[in-house]
């Protein structure tokens, strides 16, 4: 009975691994227009695979004819924290990573 239980557990773990569950990864912005991110120095993701939250897009405010940057967008060389969605077809950019 223990062998059967062990076999079922192994099969379940293999099924989960095969489905590519959500994974946290690191990346670096290598191009801005169009956006490209190099992930773990292994492969580059084009904009089609990336989901960019509004918090990482540039926001400008014009007051009295002068434009002010309220929030800076992504810049070349920014280090990012990415979340690979199950299946690996999309990557959500969670935030910038800064060193202390």
Query: Domain limits of the chain?
Result: 21-96
pLDDT tens per residue across span 47-83:
999 999 999 999 999 999 999 999 999 999 999 999 9
Closest CA to 81 of 47, 48, 53, 100: 53
Q: How many Å apart are CA 69 and CA 73, to the nearest integer? A: 10
pLDDT of residue 17: 67
Topology given in CATH for the domain delimited by 21-96: OB fold (Dihydrolipoamide Acetyltransferase, E2P) (2.40.50)
Q: What is the token pair recorded at 23?
A: 């994974």
pLDDT tens per residue across span 27-50:
999 999 999 999 998 999 999 999
Closest CA to 58 of 32, 37, 77: 32
Q: How many Å apart are CA 97 and CA 19, to the nearest integer? A: 28
Whole-model pTM: value is 0.74
- At residue 67, the 3 state secondary structure works out as strand
């Amino acid at each position: 009975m223990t062998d059967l239980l062990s076999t079922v557990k192994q099969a379940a773990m293999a099924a989960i691994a095969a489905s590519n569950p959500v994974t946290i990864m690191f990346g670096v912005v290598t191009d801005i227009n169009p956006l490209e991110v190099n992930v773990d120095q292994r492969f580059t993701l084009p904009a089609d695979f990336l989901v960019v939250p509004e918090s990482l897009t540039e926001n400008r405010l014009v007051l009295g004819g002068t434009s002010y940057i309220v929030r800076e967008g992504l810049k070349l060389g920014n280090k990012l924290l990415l979340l690979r969605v199950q299946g690996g077809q999309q990557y959500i950019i969670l935030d910038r990573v800064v060193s202390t």
